[in-house]
Structure 1
Amino acid sequence: MRQLFFCLMLMVSITAHASDAQRLKQAAFPAQAGELILKNQAVLTYLWADVYAAALYAPAALSARHAWDQQAALRLTLYYFRDIDRNDVIKAATATLERQQANARLKPELDKLHASFRDIRSGDRYALDFHPGRGLELEINGQVVFISRDDELARAYLGIWLAPGGLSDELRGRLLK
């Protein structure tokens, strides 16, 4: 009986891993975004449903973790597999930022950022592009819809995925490995 259990668990694990590989292929993240290089990619699954694939880009000379730690240029791209109401996205982001104790001074800029969100449809791409001194840009399907020159806002918002206590420790670990 124990052997059957382990065989079933192995099959589920292999199937899930194959599914991630298929999902990442579907997301088709390019190897490069401007001067940044694709470092890592992963799929966020919630309650057995794949929500999105995430790709993290950083300078070629730095690992993803070092780029995050050194506040170097980063690009986080999300490819969505599901339709999601914009209010649900804003609610999750707000709860995560509160849990991470983001600076209250950022609220007006966060409100502007969130105002640029729209309902997500399967196949949409959102990208957060950060360059020190230039701040943060949000792209939706390749179109820049928000710009802030506030590096602290960029750090806080990228922290939703990359800082401790974010949306998913497993996703964070995969992106920063």
Structure 2
Amino acid sequence: MKRRAALALGSLAWVRVGAAAPAPPPEVLGIWPAVRLQGQARMTFLGLRIYDARLWLPAHGEALRRYEDTAFALALHYLRRLQGGAIAERSIVEMRRIGPFSDTQARAWLAAMQRAFPNVSDGDRLVGLHLPGRGARFFYNGQPTADIDDPEFARLFFGIWLSPRTSEPRLREQLLGLSGSQGAP
């Protein structure tokens, strides 16, 4: 009942993706030869499936205590068509929830994300690598799209999903493997 009410109000709903562990994206294995799935979730909006999110960590790396200090990959497997420019613009809005930044930074980061995020369709995959102290690297269906060498950008961008200040705490719990609840895929 609460989920139906939340959808009616237009908020984002996150449910856990099925229990079977998927294969890691090849571009992630090209960076780290062995990875482990930390957590996964599905984003829906007004009942529409948007994407499945998966958080991958190097298999022999440290546990994810503070996302800002940990190397990881966030893979988004899209389930519908979205414009890359709209993804970038929404990212700026969500990054402002995580922490403040200047309008100059916003313009530069928006331009960088517009280069990094092409239009996507059902079946496409965007992967972001968090490189602590360096920034972020992005891939579209296995092909590199952009490196953004700015640790503050990376902290705020990945904070959309992983910061305690996220607009979607349930998603965060599922990606971090803190939620034991099961939802419909």
TM-score normalised by length of structure 2: 0.72
**1:87–1:133 distance in 2 versus 1, CA, 3 Å:** closer
Partner of 1:86: 84
CA contact (8 A) 1:58 1:67 kept: no
Flag the structure with larger Rg: 1
Q: Which 4+ residue blocks in structure 1 deviate beyond 4 angstroms?
A: none
Query: Larger helix proportion, structure 1 or 2?
Result: 1
8 Å Cα contact 1:42/1:55 also seen in 2: yes
Separation (CA, whole Å) in 2 of partners of 1:63 and 1:133:
17
2:24 maps to which residue?
A: 30
CA contact (8 A) 1:80 1:125 kept: yes
Specify the code of the residue in structure 2 equivalent to 1:95. V
TM-score by length of 1: 0.75
Quick one: higher RCO (CA 8 Å, sep 6+), 1 or 2? Answer: 2
Q: Which whole-Å CA distance do the structure 2 matches of 1:112 and 1:106 have between them? A: 10
8 A contact 1:42–1:171 mirrored in 2: yes
Residue-pair matches, total: 157
Q: Which amino acid aligns with 1:96?
A: E
Contact kept? 1:138, 1:146, Cα under 8 Å? yes
Where in structure 2 are there 5+ consecutive unaligned residues?
A: 2-14, 179-185
Flag structure 1 segments of 5+ consecutive residues without an equivalent: 6-16
Matches within 5 A, 1:103-142: 103-104=101-102, 106-107=105-106, 108-142=108-142
Match of 2:17, SS?
helix
Q: CA separation in 1, counterparts of 2:45 and 2:57?
A: 26
1:1-177 alignment to 2 at 5 Å?
A: 20-21=17-18, 28-30=22-24, 33=29, 34=32, 35-60=34-59, 61-64=61-64, 66-68=65-67, 71-104=69-102, 106-107=105-106, 108-176=108-176, 177=178
| Percent identical residues | 28
Higher mean alpha-carbon deviation, 154-163 vs 128-137, is at 128-137
